Amino acid sequence: MLFFLNKFKEILFLILIFGFAFLLIINPAIARNSAYEGMIICGSVLIPSLFPFSVISIFLHKTNFLNILPIPKKFSHYKTVLSIFIISIIGGYPIGAKIISEEYKNKNINKTTANYLLYSCVCGGPSFIILTVGCGIFKSFKLGLIFYISNILSSLIIFIFLKNKIVVSKNNKKLNNNISNCFVDSVAVASSTVLNICSYVILTSTLIGIINSSCLNNFFKNVIISITEITNATINIKNIYLISFLLGFGGICVILQLFSQAYLINPNIIKIIISRIISGILSAFLTFISLKIWPVSIETISNSGNLNIILSKNSIVSIIVITATVIVFLISVNNKKFCGKFLIDIF
């Protein structure tokens, strides 16, 4: 029975791939324009908001800097999983999965723990949620902060609920003093991760464009588009509770990114989807409670305004990206071997 089920999955997957390819062939102009829009989203929203925080979170992980956190002695053995959780809420959606996969590969956590951590260590980054969604789309830093805190708390609730399922080993990691090596490696890993994310966004944007041009009912179109890619959804949806749910859920694109980063763990797709739905519901509920306590006046941008306004909100982050790129270039050109001192390695 299992053999036939696996064969059915393989055949269904092939049908979907060939079906998508056929739609691209018969709709070349729509596919091209939609892919271009995906590239615009990547260049103006995702890269400025995600890349700097990806570098920071991966850098914190590689230097083991979070091990100096003042955690009570009876919880000290949880430092590894707590650092993964903290890094995941700083770096954004796929970074937690990336770190979990790396910890599993290095045998710091077992497969069971890695799978349970995947259910909770997935959260939108502060730059995307606060700057892009809050300030860019709703023109409210306060609302963006509420979205972000709701996301963190929903992940934390799941993390606490599953903590008894998590098996941890004694943490023997020490602070890594080779700062320059860690920084260069962090930028390289973050670049690869963000490029991977952008690939999925462009692919799903192309799919969304084809769906938009189809003869499907508008309601079904909106549902499919909303659950497919979170950036497109937040730009076009004005219901704040639905957006909070989608930020907690992440969308199909984020789920694909999780599987891409955590392929070594081989997570269960049904359990991942259920955990994302629960996270979305918790996030929407927490946003509802927060807005009852701290009301926010909301002003939204028009759909036609979209990315130009959002881009201006991320100009500071863009400068950080450019600066980081220049630093990496200087290090790479002038030094093939590093002495471990940051300023010396640069100059």
- Residue 87, pLDDT score: 84
Task: Please tell me the distance from the alpha carbon of residue 38 to that of residue 253, in angstroms, as a whole number.
Answer: 12
**Is residue 203 predicted with pLDDT exceeding 70?**
yes
316 or 265, higher pLDDT: 265
- Residue 181, pLDDT score: 78
The pLDDT-based confidence of 335 (bands split at 50, 70, 90) is very low
The pLDDT-based confidence of 161 (bands split at 50, 70, 90) is confident
- Residue 1, pLDDT score: 60
**pLDDT, tens only, 40-97:** 888 877 787 788 888 888 888 888 776 666 666 655 556 777 778 888 888 878 788 8
Q: Which of 332, 330, 328 is nearest to 320 (CA)?
A: 328
- Residue 147, pLDDT score: 92
| Tokens 């997570």 sit on residue | 267
Tell me if 56 sits within 8 A of 193, measured CB to CB: no
Q: What would the mean pLDDT of 220-227 be, rounded to a whole number?
A: 79
Q: What would the mean pLDDT of 121-139 be, rounded to a whole number?
A: 83
Burial of 33 (C-beta count, 10 Å sphere; 0-12/13-18/19+): middle
149 or 197, higher pLDDT: 149
**pLDDT, tens only, 131-154:** 878 887 788 888 889 999 999 999
The pLDDT-based confidence of 345 (bands split at 50, 70, 90) is very low
Q: What would the mean pLDDT of 25-47 be, rounded to a whole number?
A: 83
Task: Please tell me the distance from the alpha carbon of residue 216 to that of residue 235, in angstroms, as a whole number.
Answer: 21
How do the residues of the chain divide into helix, strand and coil, expressed in percent and rounded to 5? Answer: 80, 0, 20
Angle at alpha carbon of residue 168, lines to 250 and 108, rounded to 5°: 80
Q: Produce one character per residue of 39-65: b if its CB has 16 or more CB atoms within 10 Å, e if not.
A: ebbbebbbbbbbbbbbbbbbbbbbbbe
Q: What would the mean pLDDT of 259-278 be, rounded to a whole number?
A: 85
Q: How far is CA 26 from the centre of its chain?
A: 32
The pLDDT-based confidence of 278 (bands split at 50, 70, 90) is very high
328 or 234, higher pLDDT: 234
| SS3 assignment, position 84 | helix
The pLDDT-based confidence of 281 (bands split at 50, 70, 90) is very high
CB atoms near residue 152 (< 10 Å)? 20
Q: What would the mean pLDDT of 200-219 be, rounded to a whole number?
A: 81
Percent of the chain at pLDDT > 90 equals 7
310 or 172, higher pLDDT: 172
Measured CA distances, 136 to 53, 227, 307, 313 (Å): 18, 21, 9, 6
Q: What would the mean pLDDT of 247-270 be, rounded to a whole number?
A: 83
Q: What would the mean pLDDT of 159-187 be, rounded to a whole number?
A: 71
- Residue 299, pLDDT score: 59
CB atoms near residue 74 (< 10 Å)? 7
Annotated domain spans of the chain: 34-346
Percent of the chain at pLDDT > 70 equals 76
210 or 66, higher pLDDT: 210
- Residue 287, pLDDT score: 92
Question: How many CA atoms lie less than 13 Å away from 40 in the CB half-sphere?
Answer: 15
- DSSP-derived letter for residue 213 is T
**Is residue 8 predicted with pLDDT exceeding 80?**
no
Task: Please tell me the distance from the alpha carbon of residue 174 to that of residue 57, in angstroms, as a whole number.
Answer: 17
- Residue 119, pLDDT score: 87
Dig out the tokens for 304 from the structure.
Answer: 């036609």
- DSSP-derived letter for residue 76 is G
| Tokens 């892919």 sit on residue | 35
Task: Please tell me the distance from the alpha carbon of residue 35 to that of residue 47, in angstroms, as a whole number.
Answer: 16
Q: Which of 107, 111, 84 is nearest to 96 (CA)?
A: 84
Who's near 139: CB < 8 A, 6+ residues apart? 298, 299, 300, 301
- The mean pLDDT of the chain is 76
- Residue 5, pLDDT score: 64
Sign of the dihedral defined by the CA atoms of residues 273, 274, 277, 278, in that order: negative
